Structure 1
Amino acid sequence: MTNLITSTKDVSLTGDQKVDGLVNGTAWDGTITYAFPSTSTSYAYSGEKNYAFSSISSQQRSLALFFMEESYGNAANDGFSVEGFTNANFAAGSADTATVRFAQSSLPSTAWAYTPNIGGHGGDVWFGTGYAGTEDDYRLPRFGNYAGHTLAHELGHALGLKHAHEAGYPNTTLVPRAYDSLEFTIMTYRTYVGDNGDGYEYEHDGAPQTFMMLDIAALQEMYGADYTTNSSDTVYKWNPSQGFTYVNGVAAITPAANRIFATIWDGGGTDTYDLSAYTTALKIDLRAGGYSVFSQGQLADLGGGPNNGYARGNIFNALLYHDNVASLIENVRAGSGNDTIVGNEADNTLWGNAGNDTLTGDSGNDTLDGGTGIDKISGGVGNDVYIVDNANDTVIENANEGTDTVRTTVGDFTLGTNVENLTYIGTDGFAGYGNAADNEITGGTRSDWLDGKAGADTLIGGAGDDTYTVDSLGDVLVEAADGGVDRILTDLAVYSLADIANVEDLSFRGNGNSTGTGNSLDNMITSGWGNDTLSGGAGNDTLDGGQGADSLTGGTGNDIFVVRDAGDTIIENADEGIDTVQTYLTGYTLGANLENLTYRGPWVFGFVGTGNNLDNVISGGGAADTLSGGAGDDTLDGWAGADTLIGGVGNDTYIINNAGVLVTEAANGGIDTVRTTLASYVLGSNVDNLTYTGTATFTGTGNSLANTIKGAAGADTLDGKAGADILIGGVGNDTYIVDDVADVVTERPNEGADLTKTTLSSYALTNNVENLTFIGTGDFAGTGNRLANTITGGAGNDTLDGGTGNDTLAGGAGNDIYIVDSASDVITEAVSAGTDEIRTALAAYSIAALVNVEHLTYTGSANFTGTGNALANTLSGGAGNDMLNGAAGADTLIGGAGDDTYIVDHVGDLITEAVDEGTDTVRTTLANYTLGSDVDNLTYTGTVAFVGTGNGLDNTIRGGAGADILDGNTGADILIGAAGNDTYIVDELADVVTEAINQGTDLIKTVLSVYTLTDIANVENLTFAGTGDFAGTGNGLANIITGGAGNDRLDGGAGNDRLVGGVGDDVYIVDSASDAITELVSAGTDEIRTALAAYSIAALVNVENLTYTGSANFTGTGNALANTITGGAGNDMLNGAAGADTL
């Protein structure tokens, strides 16, 4: 079978012995196919296939694909494949025709591969079996072990690489001995530089994990360099405990041992070595062909060599391909050790992080940040940026190495030699100093001090109140709008802010005659000892010429002139603002167009300050000053000292801080105000208003004028005295003294718990004042507001109304009336302090706890429940259905209209109820009670026997659990006895008796001539209490029916009844043999009428006659009297017994 293979091409030497020493001379041309044959028949030639042929292991296949295919596995692997760092294109091919094929045979015993050629062997890789079963078994390759190294080595041969240590054909070049080691190429037998090459001496897992820098360079010469793989910003990171290599956070190289031994080729972008996890002293070199040491413990043990037997680095950088810097690694993030980092010709960013680091940028525009620690940083050629965060950091910059910048967080920093620019990146104030060069110094967001020193410097303050030191007219200041209030310090004799935007202040440091000009901002311009000329221009300027006879021109705006010399001249035109003179002289009179005057001199001297006809503000010092305002609305402030303040004409304000201050104000001299910090002050004559400006408690007293007195945050006492005064307490628990109906108290919400004291006979609290106290004589009417008020009356008959809110009302002596509108209102009344009354519209109110309040009156329109106390109360209801309970004491209860209920517990209780004022009820615990006029109902609520008597109305009377006697009197009454053996007095046919079952043995006494219990269930007995004849009828119970002195007719009805006729000719209706008849001797001629079949009156010795009322046969028997026995329609047997009987 013919092995169809990719064509080959010749490879020219480069002239670089390091690279040429690996070039065999031929390479594949076109797509390189690969295969892993499973049978020996795939090979057309004899030899290896005939010696124990087998396919390679899956582990070998995986690693072979890692080294060949860019697309194998995850993207992190790509840069380590031949396809990733060259332009070679790999593709899976046929086992019979693939360019590169991998298989195993016992020939050879080790391994070999055929370099590119168009014969049948070209590109084939054979692994022997000589190490089978050992740790070097070719079937068990991994990153860094002998089998993995061998696989990459033989693949290198298959792609056209020769041994570094051997001459090939036609290329006989050897790799120089200084580079002939595994640190630079996997194609050598020399483990380390100087090794004799007779066998690898590295530790297990101590072999290279990738193609090394000379291998990559040689393969790129054969196939071209690939700049597309990892061409974006790539981060390479290593693990100090496992030795894993991560690319953009994904593990690519995962050795079994904690060893790092590899070379990085990167296709472009801004790339980073991230060693931030390391605590060791890193040695990082980013230069092409350089190498870096991360950790001694992760270095491969090579078994010998110049580095104490270890590899000279963990990671090696690929060489540049034809000087193209795209493959360089730009950035390093170091760890926390004392690291050494060297950059390359790219624009590097080197972060030292913690530790005392040494950073060298090499060429390029580098950014060097040593991080915390004391660092040494050197940028080299290029426009470098140094990040300085420690005052002991060292910046090394040589002459003519670019325009360099220090960016620092150190609060005080001076540029070193050959560094041009300085930028503060901290958060505090900054002091930045330049050097002899033309510096650019930039401050931060706080108040900075920028001094460029010699040279034409550019100073940029930024936000904050910055100070610029200007020593040359060539200095340039850059200040942003709203960048703070900034100042220029200069030794120049003439300087103007006119063309310097956004800088406010100017200070001359020399002693000569200075000329300073402001701009449109609010300038402060100061000078020293000379005769200076200072002009503020527009804006609110401050001009201070210092000593000497100065000329000060304010211009427009509210300007301040500082006068230290009597020879100072102020130039101020009309309508150019509100201007102030601050003087150190002991006497000064304001000139034209100047409004204000302030003494700034020593306080041991008294100051005489005089105003003009403008509205002046004049301030003194610490001694006894004399301040005169003149015409205008002046403000005079003597400060400390017993001053004399003379306001003159106008509405003047006096600032008083000393009790010895004398205010002189003429009558009709305007509306004047005292403002004081004294704890107590009384307005003098002709001064209208008083304002407290202190922070403690204040007592302010007015005069006979209409004063306005204002307190502050303390607990103030304000008394306007006579006049219609306005009192304003402010925050704090204030007290207002009100003695005039025209007085006005002003208090805002949440400004304390305030009190008004008044002598007025009537007063209503204003908004936001909580408490009211009457301090006058006579009767007082005090009214609250919506707050929780405390209102205190006097010795008179007071009426106190708290309004809405939970109020406390204290009437004091006198017959007081309390208006209560909240259940939480509190009434305070002393013993023997008058006869007092509570009036309320609440639905329920009790004075039980108010032991010294006598009366309670309901003023609402709904139903009311009122409760008294132990006193003799008068409780008055309203138009609703009220319940009045006087409690203990002989109370008077007045229900008014509505269906009222009275609780009566004292024999002295009096109920007052008018005609037609509803259906009213007395509920009582008294043992005997008779309803008064116009009260309808009576209910017993006690526990003993009760005698309840009605009136002429239709009463409902209810008993209790005892043996009650209920008498409705006249009227159609309802009598309800409840439990107990009750007695009902019935005097009207319309009277209704209600008795429940099993509620005792009850009795009805009646004066009616006819009465029946038939419809009155549960009442047992009936007694006639009238005169004349009586007809009484029982019910189904065992009744006792008692007649009177007349001729009675008694019928017990069903049941075993007892019938007692009394005097008179009585008739007994007997319907039960058990009925009992009681008849006395000589109590009339009496008759028994019965429907029983047999009846005998033999035992009824005082009953004369017997009449049968039935329809059947009857047997009737008489007694010893002369009986009349009458039968019926049946066959009767009549026996009169003894006596002259009529049958």
Structure 2
Amino acid sequence: MKEPIQNLPVSQSDIYINGWRGSDILNGNANNNQLFGFDGHDVLVGGTGNDILTGGAGIDSYHFSLGDGIDTIIEEDYSKEASHIVFDDVVSDKIGQVIFNGNDLVIHYGDDDKIILKSYLNNSNNAKLSIGFADDSVWYHEDLMSKVVFVGGDTHDVITGTLDNHLNIIKGLSGNDTLRGNLHAINHIYGGHGSDTIYGGSNHDIIHGGDDNDTLHGNGGNDMLHGNLGNDFLYGGEGNDILEGDAGHDTLYGDEGDDILIGGDGNDWLEGGAGADTLIGGLGDDTYIVDEFDTYLEEGKDLEGGYDTIHIASDFDLSSNNFEAATLLGDGDFSVIGDEFDNIITANGGNNHLTGGLGNDTIHGNAGDDMIYGNEGNDTLDGGDGDDYLDGGTGIDEMIGGNGNDYYILDNEFDTVIEHFAADSGTDTLEQHIDRSFYNFDEFGNPIKTGSYHQLFDNVENLILKSTAKTAFGNDLDNIITLNNKDNFVNALAGNDTIIYQKGGGRDTILSNDSLESKDTLAIHGYDLSEAMFVRVTNTASNHDMLQIRFKGTNDQITLIDYFAEQVDGFDNRMDEITFTKGGNTTTLSQSEFEAKIFAQANNHAPWVNKHPRPIKGEIDKALSITFDKDTIKDVDAYDSELSYRLTLASTGADGQYEPLPDWLSFDPSTLTLTGTPPKEAAGNLQFILWGEDSFNHSAGTYVNLSIAGATVDKPTETSPLAPVAIGDTIKDTQGNDTLRGTTADNTFVYTKGIDTIIDKGGNDTLVFGNGITFNQVGSTLLMSGNDLILRVNGSTTNQVTLKDFFGSADSVIETIKFETGGQIDYKRIYELFGKEVPTKSDESALPPAVSPDVHDNAPLTISKDNHIIADARANKLYGTDGHDQLQGLAGADTLDGKAGHDILIGGSGNDRLIGGSGNDLYYFTKGFGKDTIVNTGGGYDNIYFDGISFNQVGRGLTKMNNDLILKVSGSTDELTIKDFFTGGDNADINISFADGGSISATELLGLFKSSKTATHTDIDGFNKALDVSLALMEEFKTLTTESGTTII
């Protein structure tokens, strides 16, 4: 048969339908047919069912309609001859996915229909396929490839994008897939579920890892890599790539090119590699590896964005960004500064300067000679190799030196130094600023000092005492111990030790108990041998047989305790060598040489007063400098031609010792010069004793008197640069320094600012304070100068108004003082407060009524915060506020209640009741104050201050009455009762001090009467600090009361 078979009929049961050598038209039925066209230009119509259509040789056409099912086309080679797919009732925009499934191309259309082009991937180069649609549109091979997607299945697929000239879209779906993009074309690759490994090509690819832990390689081109979910590894490769980790703990490495790395959520690792990269961490604990070309940004605000670490080869300040940890790269010398969080700082191999911040920091020095400062917080410092400097700062710190010659700063007695390596790994030094007491604990777990001290840390060779440290113990190594200017106690323990004493070091005690084989050296710096005396001190109350080294003309002294004790089991207390170094010259004495110089004290003579210094005069705020004569005190002994001088107050403290100079004075014993600038509170007379002491601690002293004149107070000068403004009977100031003159009419004066003077001539007048001035700002400071009344705003001498002759003439009275902000006071109240008789006026009936009850006689006088409130001669009740007040009674039997704040209560004459309230209060008592009672509730560091009454006057009159303590002043009827003192607690929370020296604590008073009670506070330092503050506050109030001719209310 040479003619084609036209519409070859088939039965409903046929499955196999074959053409022949001509151009056949083969139609399938509803079964799953197999149609074979063989040679010729055939037309194959499978119809419904899942058909297999084999065209054979020739230009074949395959027809499909909706509902045809899943059909398969088999062509030997799509590039050899044209093939046509024809959709009879499907338009082009109804085509679904076009995917590669393995080597097969699958075209989806309709709901469940698809065409499978078998092995199309292997036979499609330059394919001549066309696809026609019912809308007359046609797709060719290039169009088809632009829509194709490579799709995996549920297994672990290996898929490679093979479209060199088209976009390769690859979807791995489920399974742990290996997906490779086309080397030349652009790839869009999606891993889907599973832990996938994905490679881009050389073009600009977009890669998404999907779920689980994926590995993404961008390779060449400017790629975009998204980790999506899971802990992903993203490797940019060549090109300017964008890497986004998204969720999970991701690792991002940019490699070459100017990359952008975005960590997203999770604890991410970001390293840009070569190029100028941008690193953005996001939330989570991120780690950045950056170089000098990179830009880095941690978006989370401090710990809100996680605990982030940067690795960098440059100086870095953690306080200026949102990183919490820094690691230095390379071997350069860099600086790192911490912030307020708990930082981790790690050095590189260089000589770094590392400083922690306010948190509990961990700092690693590594190799190099590093300077490490912990700053605040409880820090851990690890120097690593190299000669490191470690200073923990405040807090309880742990310092670890490592190899090298390390230097430690210890400023907290609970600081710890750890040297893991033996002595041959370096020579280490501890600079100790505080004694390291040894503690036990009571039954409640509270630490208790035992009186013992810790020895020098293991494997540390040298110890230097600084600041307040007074006690030094060595260890078993050969120690060098350098002392400070405190009165030190030293026990170097075993080893060949050297103890360095420096001029001005005070009076030190050394115990040198060591084996006879050891060689201990005392090195004295700043003195030469000619200035030293070696004295054996025996028959002391302590039963110690000592060697003392004293220095002429100074208070310095070294005591070698038990030096002459007998040897025991090969141990003695002898020093083997003493050296003197001064001016670059060193003199060395062996044990036998310095023992030969020991001096006998039997023929020593005590010093004596040769002349008495003249009285000294000084003035407030003016510097004084007085030098005493060298021969004021003399000694006949030649070795005491230069005595040791000191200057003390002539008064003694509670311990019986002469008190030191006030802080504003300084005495130089080497030049006998007294210098200082007297402050305001120093006005009056001071008495000192100038002491001269010989080498055997015998002294003579003479009195020195100093009188300090008080400073004068300048009165403000009235000026009138501008004329006040008068509108009718209202006269307003100009805010300058004005004089406001009234008439016989009823005038209203308005004050706003400056130094004003009001001169009135009669009438019922009113003074109004404007400009926002309140009653409280003026009412707390009323002053009388002669017959004038002065009103000050906040106590200021540059903002005040003077009412001339207010107390001298009825016509000069301003009847009412008002405030625009509210409140007023009338002249009668002011007269009564100053104890003045109210003047009678001819038109008395026309005077304004009394003021409202909030400021009338029936109300307590409470003014404002930080006030000085003074009563009149009647029995008053004065109340403080929440500020620091001074309440002062006068002649009446007053009740003074300080309320809150640090208050000063001055009862005055009369039998007063004083209530301190909360805060650190001061009860002031002097001669003639009568019989006052203190109710000391409310807690705080409270003080009683006797001025003009001595310790002895009160100490003889201590009486217990029920639970009250009565302090009687001998030689008078004055007495002070402290209510419920013997109940303890806050009632006993009080310290008694005297202006002329001495004090009594509550603990001493309770012990004197054998009471088992205790006060709330027992630390004397707290009471002394509170007393200093109160006296200073009292001086501030005093400045308002010492102006010539004035009285303050």
Question: If each structure's strand is expressed as a fraction of its own residues, which one has the higher value?
Answer: 2
| Greater Rg over alpha carbons, structure | 1
TM-score by length of 2: 0.38
TM-score by length of 1: 0.35
